[in-house]
Amino acid sequence: MEREFQSHTFEPIFDGNSKILILGTFPSVKSRENNFYYGHPQNRFWSVLAEILGTEIPKSIPEKRQMLLENNIAIWDVVGSCEISNSADTSIKNVVPNDLSVIFENADIKTVYANGKTAEKLYNKYLLKQTGKEITALPSTSPANATFSKERLIKAWKIIKEDLEK
């Protein structure tokens, strides 16, 4: 497959109350089309997060944004631009990382989580020195991660709820 140069086109979600930052790698084709995070209908991000937070699954972008901010959760992606083939994280090359200082300078982020091993790897390579914050990898909510059932994802992602309650 041929890689195409793509740039991240939407802003991070956070406010001054954000305590936890969840980082993905780079928006999928569907997310880029929807101009918002985790836009593929089979991505389990929103349903897993809703389950661990004890809320309804948000449907609209305003509802998703509200769920994150009401629960002191920030989200963004590690990669600001790159060459990528469709939505395949494994194809990412020539990375230009996002500048996370906009979040860290305006919110008291206690913990950083990666949505998947690739996000963790890219964060450690490109952003760890900038932020000085270690990252904890959680299993990817992507439909490509078929080895994890929704139930297993919920069990692993519950650490976020535990962190928020500290």
Q: How confident is the model at residue 81 (pLDDT cuts 50, 70, 90)?
A: very high
Quick one: DSSP state of residue 125? H
User: Quick check: 1 pLDDT over 80?
Assistant: no
Q: How confident is the model at residue 146 (pLDDT cuts 50, 70, 90)?
A: confident
4-164 is a CATH 3.90.1560.10 domain? no
CA distances 2 to 56, 84, 85, 86, Å, are 39, 8, 6, 9
* Highest mean pLDDT out of 28-32, 81-85, 123-127: 123-127
Q: Domain coordinates of the chain in residue numbers?
A: 4-164
pLDDT in tens, 32-79: 999 999 998 899 999 999 999 999 999 999 999 999 999 999 999 999
Determine if residue 44 is left, alpha or beta; phi over 0 gives left, psi from -120 to 50 gives alpha, anything else beta.
alpha
Quick one: DSSP state of residue 81? E
Residues in the chain: 166
Which two tokens mark 121? Answer: 């790897």
